[in-house]
Structures are given as structure tokens and as C-alpha cells.
Amino acid sequence: MGDMGSFERTLPAEAVARVREGFRTRATVPRRFRTGQLKALRRLITENEKELAQALAEDLGKHPLESRISEFALLENEIGHALLHLPAWMEETAVKVPLVLQPAQARVVPQPLGVVLILAPWNYPVQLLLAPLIGALAAGNCAVLKPSELAPATAQLLCRLVPEYLDPQVVAIVDGGPETAAALLQERFDHIFFTGGEHTGREVLQAAARHLTPVTLELGGKCPAVVVDGHWGNIARRLAHGKFLNAGQTCTAPDYVLAVGRAAEQLRTHLPESVRELFGRRPVRSKDYGRIVNERHFDRLAGYLGQGTVLSGGGTERSSRYIEPTVLVDVDPDAPVMREEIFGPILPVLEVPSLEEAVAFINDRPAPLAAYLFSERPKNQRIFEDTVRAGAVGHNICNAHPLVPGLPFGGTGASGMGAYHGRHSFDTFSHRRPVLSKSALVETLKVGYPPYSWSKAEVLKRLL
């Protein structure tokens, strides 16, 4: 199946050519082959979980249990869901034929797209590389994978494991930095799946346009959390967990909080308490709290700490890339921390007079990947769902909707285009091809051929 050394020397063009030839053999089309590759991918995760967790700890300071919850379990559930439903997903769908074309049969047949490129980010470097691959394999495609160089331990491990478990004529993995990604984007693909920031997403879209390649963009944005009413202790705990998971480096994490009315006073009390409950009085000593991915991002985040009043946290340690879970208050709505995606463990809390003002605040900015409302009142939930523009909505919980395989995961506007997870992954990597069959032995279409006449027109009016 190949070793690490030979794989590292594979150039992007060679990897694409190899799997392109693999797709031409049509080996990926039979359901048995697809399920075999999905099961092999599951074995890759289950048989190497300890080693994968160690790599994630080295790159991001993740606790093994956090890696199990946010990376491995999600992948295993997605694979199980795909294996269970793949026969139904692959079925042809009959479509009713209009009277004017009868007798005939019409159907929709899911077809693999071909060779897809999956470009993954560094914040969940296992999950966000392999989750799109599940859909690509289930739909019968070949794939080229590019893990993020900013999570080097995980990338190198995956570059060794992928060719050991998956058919190298079907799945290729290419290690490297931005120059490798740029070289891959020069190649022709049948679909590109990118997860990352908005700036790079624009570059991917521009590169794809040269070949008219369809693209799925999973971006981010400033996900808001609006707090109106409820159990204040539980709300604060869920906000703190949702924000400070993976040291805040989660695309669906609440980026800021809009506290309506008395909620602001309650959060000033309960948010610091929840942080202490989760990570202790000195989070720097907590084995459950991660680290910033590199010094560049550390410096960027440290610059936000002076853009408001530190209610709790604020401590930093550059040598270990540690930034304490921090809650900011008295923040200027136009400050950089409120205009740029934070993607780190800093949570600004702003006071607003009403839910309507909160909705207006959100909708005045680019559409986020997710928006959260904390309120037990159905009326408030309906208003929020009907008026907020966002990729997803969560009521009284953060970051949980990606765990439901039946829900599409994706953004809108600046937060992305396209969706995946469950059936939506299969559809993203499939072409739903229409097929119409009609016998030529009996001619029933002459009424529609020239020369036209009054009698033909009357018949066609009734038939059409």
C-alpha cells in the first residue's frame, strides 16, 4: 500500500493523475467497494485512536476525551449512518412522465462526480479532513486530501495512515504548505471541498473558476449568541463550554454574546463561575484546556484583550501559546474584536435593550455560520428563526447541530456555500442525472412535428 517515505515524494500532479486513472476503472461505482472503503476508514480511526489523540495533543493541546467527542465519535457516527443508509441513497428515483411523452419511463440516477479535492483546516484536523471524505467515498468518488500544515503532527500521521488503510488508486493524500495547496488548485477536479477562512475561500473559488469546478465552502464568521431568559447557571455553562472548547478555535463557537435586559447582569456573575467550574481557578494548569495553534494566532488574539474591560481571565503565556478563557465587557461594537472573527478563547458580552435590537445587530453584519438563542419562550424562538440570517440556528445550546447526521451543515453568504453530513454529503458529491427512456418502435410524437396545423394545435393544447 506504500510507505511514508514514498508518499511524501508524491507530487500534487502525480497524486491527481493516479486517482484520476483509478476513477476511470469504475472501481468505485459498486456499492460493495464503497462500503469496504468506509469500513476501512472506520478501522483507521478506531485502531489508531491513541496515536491520533497524541498528535492532536501535540498540535492543539487537546485532551483525549475532547478529541474522542469532537473528532473521532463524530466520524464514527457519520460512517455508521452512511453504511446504514447507503443502499437507499444509491437507489434510482422514478419520475412521472407527462402524457405527451408517453409511453416512456423517467428516473433520476445518482452518479459519482469523479475526482474531488478536500482541503482541510487545522482546528479539527482529523474530523474536518475525513468527514467530507465519508460523503465522497459513499457517493463513489476518488479523492485527493490536503491536511493542514499548521497541525503538523496530525498531518504527518494521517499521511502515513491513509495509504495504509484506503485504496491508493482511490484516495491520495498530499502533505505540504500553501505552495502545495496552490499546486493542487492548478489541477482539474470535479469538485473542491474547502474548510477554512473567508480570505482563502475566495482564493479557492477563483482557482476553481478556471475549470468551472463546483465548490463547497465551509467558512466561519462571527457566530452570535443572544441571551434573553432561562436558567442562568445552565446558560453560562453552555456558553462557556461552547466558546472555550478547543481554546475557542471552533468555527461554530459563539463569537460574541448579546445580552438582553437583565441577562447582562446575570452573565457577569455566572460566566466567570462557569469558567472556574470547567477549568479550575488556574486554567493554565488544566489538562482539559487546549492551546493556540501557533504564535502568529497567539499574537493576533492577545491584541484583542485590550479592547474592552476584562471581566474574567486575560492571562497569557506566549511560550506555551496559552491564553486564559477571557470574558470581555464594555466593548465598543465597532472595535476590531467585534468586526473580525476571533477564533480564540475571548468572549465579548454586549448589552442590548431587546431581542429585536439583537436581531438587527446580527443582520447588519455578514451572515454567520451559526446563531444561537437562549430563551425558553416559543415566541422568541420563532422570531429568531424567522428573522436571523445564518447557516444554522441553535436554541439553548452551542456547537451541537454538527453532531446530528440528518442535519445539513453549511453556511450562507460570507459563511460559506453548500452543505454536508449524512445524506447531504452524499448529495454534495453526486450528480443527480436525469434519464428518459422511450421506445422508437412506435411513433407517438408526430403531433408535435411540423408542419403545424390547427388540428395539431388543439391536440397539443390538451396534451400539454
* Residues annotated catalytic, as ranges: 218, 251
Question: Which residues lie below 8 Å from residue 447, measured CB to CB, with a gap of 6+?
Answer: 456, 459, 460, 463
Under DSSP, the state recorded for 368 is P
Question: Which residues lie below 8 Å from residue 296, measured CB to CB, with a gap of 6+?
Answer: none
SS3 content of the chain, % helix, strand, coil (to 5): 45, 15, 35
Q: What Cα–Cα distance (Å) separates residue 415 from each residue in 134, 201, 219, 419, 434? A: 22, 10, 5, 11, 31
Give phi and psi for 215, each to the nearest 5.
-135, 140
Task: Kindly give the residue spans of alpha helices, DSSP state H, lying in 126-166.
Answer: 127-138, 152-165
Lookup: cell for 375: 430563551
Q: What Cα–Cα distance (Å) separates residue 291 from each residue in 237, 298, 302, 324, 398? A: 20, 9, 13, 9, 21
- Please count the other Cβ atoms lying within 10 Å of the Cβ belonging to residue 268: 17
- For 24, the 3-state DSSP assignment is helix
Q: What Cα–Cα distance (Å) separates residue 247 from each residue in 153, 186, 348, 433, 440? A: 18, 34, 15, 44, 66
* Separation of alpha carbons 200 and 177, rounded Å: 13
* Separation of alpha carbons 64 and 76, rounded Å: 16
Tell me whether residue 334 is exposed, middle or buried, using C-beta atoms within 10 angstroms of its C-beta: 0 to 12, 13 to 18, 19 or more: exposed
In a 13 Å sphere around the CA of 404, the CA atoms on its Cβ side amount to 11
* Separation of alpha carbons 332 and 335, rounded Å: 5
Total count of residues recorded for the chain: 464
Beta bridge partners of 259: 227, 351
